[in-house]
Structure 1
Amino acid sequence: MSSTARVGIIGSGAAGLITAHVLIQDGFKSVEILTRDNAPGGVWAAQRVYPGLTINNVHGEFRFSALPMPLPANANVTGGRLSGEDMRAYMESFADRFLKDRIKYDTEALNICRRNGGGWVVTAKGLNSGTMFELEYDKIVLCTGGCNEPRVPNDLSAEVAKEAGFRGPVIHSSQFASRILSILNAVDPSEGAVIVVGGGKSAQDAASFLAREGRRVRMVFEAADPVVAAPVPLPAFIRKSRFLALISPHVELKTRLERFLHTTWLGSKIVKAIWAFLSWSSFFSLNIPSNSPLRRTHSLFYGVRTNDEGVGRPDGFHALVNQGKIELVAPVRVKGYAPSSGSEGKTVKVVLNDGRELTANAVILATGFMSSWSKIFDDATAEELGLKTYPVKSDAFADEWNYTTLDSSVLTNHERGVARAANIYRGIVPAKNITQRDFAINGAIFTTNNGYAFEVIAHWISSYFLKDPFLHLPLTPQAAIQEAERNNAWLGKRYPNMLNEINESYSSDLAFWSWPQVVSTLLEDMSLPSWRSGGNWFTWPFKPIDLEEIACLKQERDQKRVECMQKN
């Protein structure tokens, strides 16, 4: 089956690359990727990768079924932990092999709007030439993720620091790879200091690199990310199986084991004990003292920001903290800057909310990211398409999900405010637009196995565009909206406050631990077998999930198409 529809894919990260590959394999003749980068890979593009960067992926694997990935260096020691360089090389290899001449580099999509008569118009800018132009597509796949637009608090911007007389570097963590030399040059190893604002993975990576380079580093944060670590590499039957997914409640409990674990008193005791042990053993494995600010974390169970440390490294973040090479200033918040007298602009005072002032020669703001969608859709298009956020209708589904593993005290006492979310069906299609079949999203579902999830989503999108009769969809936008609202209500209960903390372009669905359940639902939507890892009644929770399970999805979908034609 083939299609002459022109498909524009916005973003050349992992989601964009695998979506383009699947669409091309499915017969779409005109598929084009737009990216403002000069190399493929998104967050793993060459300009963003720096020494010491490691993948933050509990599953431990990030590739696609069409291309094997070489084992990383020292795999037997690290448990196969991938580096940023491993990811860069893989993404470039995938693009070179399957997507030659399909990617328009250095091209920034500035605006996307619906074309009169159908289809889409993308207003773009050539970053090398500075010229503006328009591109027309019949269908759009949005693959920008949530890591494109840096969030910089107004009081901490480089402009505000400059007003305080500071002439040194103030950068967002997304610029770290391109600004490493300027930071190293600004900080004297004998007397200078770098302040890293934030407690997440990017803050820890930047602080670790600078500490290894002999710079004095202070990391300022209110709360750190939780962490998963072990004294030895976790075996595949834990890391790559359904085990972690099964001890995480999902919107649908489809097996007797899940129902036992999350709806009975004994099951909840088992689940809570396992999560408590995972948290304790991770702190223990990394030798994190009981009074360390690094124990002030978001919940491992209720959050979606978890760092995978694997086996702690001698020069890793936690080891460097224990060695006194990274100073932790926490729990505090940075308020702004004050001038440093007589410094000739080489230092600035970073003002904390407890009244203290810290002197810095460079500041790195690991303060997160804003929505990558808001800049490319005007209000009218966002409203018409269905990308606007709305208050989550939790009251409408108050009687659902009375799971014993969800602690009511956490849910009622948490200062959540009003959670907001966009109504994205399956995390893929704006529910309001579902009957149009001309717009989809990949890369916005938060999971711990992106390669597997993005590939299945790409096949779902292709069937959606091709109007495959075997793809189960709501018949009306109203039905799709109702299903999306129900899922958002679930997310508000499962992950209190997360919908307010993670921008919508990176949280169309939160399937951090429960990604196997989400992927199984998408396979069932396509009338394909799910739960593919096999095993008997006792072993199936521990069977490793492997990409080879989905290597033949195209052929399976082709066969379904033939069967539907024969029936008609």
Structure 2
Amino acid sequence: MGTWHDLVIIGAGWYGLGAAKPYIEVHRDHRVLVIEAAGSCGGTWSADRLYPGLKSNNLRGSYEFPDFPMSQDVYGVAEGEHIPAAVLHRYLTDFARAFNILERTQFHTKVTCVTQLESGGWELTVQPSSPGATSSNDTIRTRKLIVATGLTSEPNLPRYNGQETFTPWLFHAKDFCKHAHTVDTSKRAAVVGAGKSSFDCAYAFASAGAHVDLIIRPTGQGPVWICPPYVTPFRCKMEALLTTRALTWFSPCPWGDDDGYSVVRRFLHGTAIGRFLVEIFWHMLSADVVATHGYHDHPQLFKLKPWQNAMWTGSGVGIHNYSTNFFDLVRDGKVRVHIADIACLDGDTVVLTDGERLPVDVLVCATGWKKGGGVPFPNFDLGLSSGYSDVEQERMAEEADAAVRDEFPMLKAQPVLRTTSSSPPKTQPLRNYRFMVPAGAVAQRDLAFAGMVSTVCTASFATAQGLWITAFFDGSLTRAPKSQEDVAKEILCHTQFQKWRYPCGYGASIPDFAFDSIPYVDLLLKDLGLRNHRKASPMVEMVESYGPADYKGLTQEWLETQRELGV
């Protein structure tokens, strides 16, 4: 029989660490175990994923835990600089050590299955995740479980005709670190993908002197929005725009009223004049980025112009965090863009569907990730719950769709996406209460998913979600769902909204956040009974951006409210 723990957390990235800290602080005598498949902390920033030139999109100050500032004296990163990956790995490891998480972490251990026990709690089947590694248990039992495996743990690696006899290097961008030597040895590289990681890989090869072919499939969502770190004529930080409360009003959001400005929101999204102002806002934001990069000034650059207005794209935007201009490499012909699929691989050649043949030394697939957490639950329904038939769930989803369109009329004018009859079928989105708890686990309060969201506000989300989960497990939320029916209705409302809001982002499959990030943190803080307006004055509240520092001391603040309530 496996060892019993009070809490097991799967994953030692941002969200696993963010969940462990408040739980340990509130329950100092509990047995807590963090399980990590890699050999170090960090998740995306673990030691074995640090490929050449990798940096954070975020600038220093917006990518750190509130109670553990990234001091320039310690980490060597100045205000306004992007954070090198190696620094982030060190920082997250230091955080884990400082808050007694590292000593509770079991590395090189992969969870292959999670089973709900009839007597209550969960049994995890584990195995070594690397050659020569050993795990202390075949099974681990826990009363409560947090899955914090994130969205970038299981790579989506395509299979191509002719792949078996393809002679160049071929790997997913996740393994770029393992194959970093190809940057120095390759004269011709091909990179598949249209997201930020594909740009990163292309930049690494091209800046080292290789000729790069960037391949973007014509039936996808097109090139990512690559924004300058500073935008608009006022040269504001891009990430600061997304977290300035007054600007969040221009994004439709069903949980937006929790920010306390429902009157303004209803004017902007419920009236013709308001919607006109919203359209101007999004047009200006998109036009500024297009003009900055000169997409209309060069035929190859034009291929990298995003296919849809930024309004429809969520957190999948990238920030131009390179030491030299990526777009100059395109202008100079060092990066050539192809809007085509790969027909097959032939020896050392990539053959495109338009007939062009590309001899290469390496092929990198920056083709995204499998969504869903990567851990099977064979005897537990992670969906809306077994209490509703498929027909009932479809009816409830249609009712939620109608409610979203009625509340936010601008979402009726959906963009036309490039798809084909051979496009993969749409899957059901993750349907979790507050984007964390499966419907079937709300009543039992022993399972939560942390970080199954895509956002540019990772540190703030990890902090708020971590504390919320601790309070939820303890039954100490100030606001809790009244019934299973309320849970189901809210889950359908929020997840169906995501589909309408971010059709060019991840909304149809996972929760996606951009200008709706701070309202989501507001929602969680109100559930906790904590103040969500955390600025010095009402005016500052509206115009100064929110960052992790605004949420400093949340756990102690919440513990104080519990003492006042006599809990």
Name the TM-score, length of structure 1 as normaliser: 0.86
1:118 aligned residue: 120
Whether the aligned pair in 1 keeps the contact of 2:315 and 2:505 (CA below 8 Å) is no
Task: Tell me if the contact between 2:60 and 2:77 (Cα under 8 Å) persists in the aligned partners.
Answer: no
Match of 2:360 in 1: 360
CA distance in 2, matches of 1:555, 1:490: 34
In structure 2, distance between residues paired with 1:400 and 1:238: 25
CA contact (8 A) 1:220 1:332 kept: yes
Q: Is 1:59–1:448's contact at 8 Å kept on the other side of the alignment?
A: no
Query: How far 1:45 moved relative to its partner?
Result: 0.8
- Please report how far the alpha carbon of residue 136 of structure 1 lies from its aligned counterpart in structure 2 after TM superposition: 1.0
Say yes or no: does 1:289 pair with 2:291: no
C-alpha distance 207-384 of structure 1, shift in aligned 2 (>3 A): closer
Structure 1 counterpart of 2:455: 447
- Once the 2 structures are TM-superposed, how far is the Cα of residue 393 of structure 1 from its aligned partner? 4.3
Q: Which amino acid aligns with 1:250?
A: C
Aligned partner of 1:406 in structure 2 is 410
* 1:273 pairs with 2:273: no
1:56, distance to aligned residue in structure 2 (A): 2.7
Please give the per-residue CA displacement for 1:2-56, whole angstroms capped at 9, x wherever unaligned: xx96110000100001111111011152111101111100001111112311223
8 Å Cα contact 1:392/1:488 also seen in 2: no
Deviations 1:72-92 (A, max 9, x none): 76746xx33223233212112
Please give the alpha-carbon distance, in whole angstroms, between the structure 1 residues aligned to 2:77 and 2:527.
40
Q: Which residue of 1 aligns with 2:250?
A: 247
Q: Which whole-Å deviations, capped at 9, do the CAs of 1:291-327 have from their partners, x for residues lacking one?
A: 41111434411122543435x7562422322232211
**Cα contact 2:224–2:318 (8 A) shared by 1:** no
**What is the one-letter code of the residue matched to 2:124?**
V
Q: Deviations over 1:432-489 (max 9, x none)?
A: 2101111011111222211011101111000111121x43211333321221011122
Residue 228, structure 1, aligned to residue 234, structure 2: no
Aligned-residue offset at 1:356: 2.3
How far apart in 2 are the matches of 1:549 and 1:372?
31
With over 3 angstroms needed to count, the CA separation of the structure-2 counterparts of 1:58 and 1:482, relative to structure 1, is farther
Q: Partner amino acid for 1:490?
A: F
Letter in 2 for 1:309: I
Structure 1 residue identity aligned to 2:518? P
Question: Residues 511-565 of structure 1, C-alpha deviation per residue, up to 9 Å, x if partnerless?
Answer: 22211111101111112211323532x5432122133332222222223222333
1 CA distance for matches of 2:441 and 2:359? Answer: 52
8 Å contact kept, 1:421–1:499: no
Letter in 1 for 2:413: S
Code of the residue aligned with 1:281 in structure 2: it is: D
Q: Please say if residues 308 and 504 of structure 2, whose CA atoms lie closer than 8 Å, have aligned partners that are also in contact.
A: no
- Cα distance in 1 for partners of 2:418, 2:340 equals 20
- The answer on 1:328 being equivalent to 2:311 is no
C-alpha contact 2:115 2:378 (8 A) present in aligned 1: no
Distance 2:335 2:504 in 1: 30
User: How far is the alpha carbon of 1:258 from its aligned partner?
Assistant: 1.9
User: How far does the alpha carbon of each residue in 1:241-297 deviate from its partner, in whole angstroms, 9 at most, with x for none?
Assistant: 224422211114422222222222222222222222222211222333354111143
SS in 2 for 1:90: helix
Question: Which of 338, 345, 351 does residue 337 from structure 1 map onto?
Answer: 345
Question: Partner of 1:474 in structure 2?
Answer: 481
Compared CA separation, residues 225 and 392, structure 1 to 2 (3 A): farther
SS for the counterpart of 1:270 is: helix
Cα 1:111–1:448 change in 2 (3 A) is same
Structure 1 distance, partners of 2:361, 2:102, is 44
The structural deviation recorded for 1:109 is 0.9
Match of 1:64 in 2: 65
The amino acid of 2:324's aligned partner reads D
Residues 1:381 and 1:58: Cα distance change in structure 2 (over 3 Å): farther
Change (3 A) 1:545 1:15: same
1:227 offset after TM fit, Å?
Answer: 2.4
SS in 1 for 2:532: coil
Distance in 2, matches of 1:333 and 1:393, equals: 37
Summarize the Cα distance change of 1:491–1:67 in structure 2 as closer, same or farther, 3 Å threshold. same
Give the structure 1 partner of residue 93 of structure 2.
92
Alignment of 1:81-480 (within 5 A): 81-98=82-99, 99-126=101-128, 127=130, 128-129=132-133, 133-155=138-160, 160-162=162-164, 165-182=165-182, 184-185=184-185, 187=186, 189=187, 193-222=188-217, 223-229=222-228, 230=230, 234-235=236-237, 238=241, 240-254=243-257, 255=261, 256-290=263-297, 291=299, 292-309=302-319, 313=322, 315-329=324-338, 331-339=339-347, 347=348, 349-374=349-374, 376-382=375-381, 386=385, 393-397=396-400, 398-402=402-406, 406-410=410-414, 420-468=428-476, 470-480=477-487
* 1:407–1:6 distance in 2 versus 1, CA, 3 Å: closer
Distance between the aligned counterparts of 1:559 and 1:500, measured in 2? 37
Asked whether the 8 Å contact 2:283–2:309 carries over to 1, the reply is: no
What CA distance in whole angstroms lies between the structure 2 residues aligned with 1:367 and 1:275? 28
Unaligned 5+ runs, structure 2: none
Q: CA deviation at 1:60?
A: 6.7
Distance 1:410 1:86 in 2: 41
In 2, Cα distance between equivalents of 1:59 and 1:484: 34
Residue equivalent to 1:38: 39
Task: Measure, in 2, the Cα distance between the counterparts of 1:258 and 1:531.
Answer: 17
- RMSD, aligned CA: 3.0
Count, aligned residues: 533
Alpha-carbon distance in structure 1 between the residues aligned to 2:241 and 2:195? 24
C-alpha displacement of 1:420: 2.1
Work out the percentage of aligned pairs sharing the same amino acid.
Answer: 22
Q: Report the alpha carbon displacement of residue 216 of structure 1 after superposing the two structures with TM.
A: 1.3
Q: How many Å separate the matches in 1 of 2:519 and 2:395?
A: 22
Q: Which residues of structure 1 form unaligned runs of 5+?
A: 340-346
1:492 to 495, 499, 504: 499
Structure 1 residues 424 and 360, CA, compared in 2 at 3 Å: closer, same or farther? same
Report Cα offsets for 1:190-246 as digits up to 9, x if no partner.
Answer: xxx110001111110011011111111110103210122247852586364224422
Where 1:155 maps in the other structure, the secondary structure is: coil
Partner SS state of residue 6, structure 2? strand
Cα 1:54–1:422 change in 2 (3 A) is same
Q: CA deviation at 1:383?
A: 5.1
Letter in 1 for 2:314: V
- Residues 172 and 367, structure 1, Cα contact 8 Å, conserved in 2: yes
Give the conservation status (yes or no) of the 8 Å contact 2:93–2:102: no
> Counterpart of 1:209 in 2: which secondary structure?
helix
- Residue aligned with 2:380, SS: helix
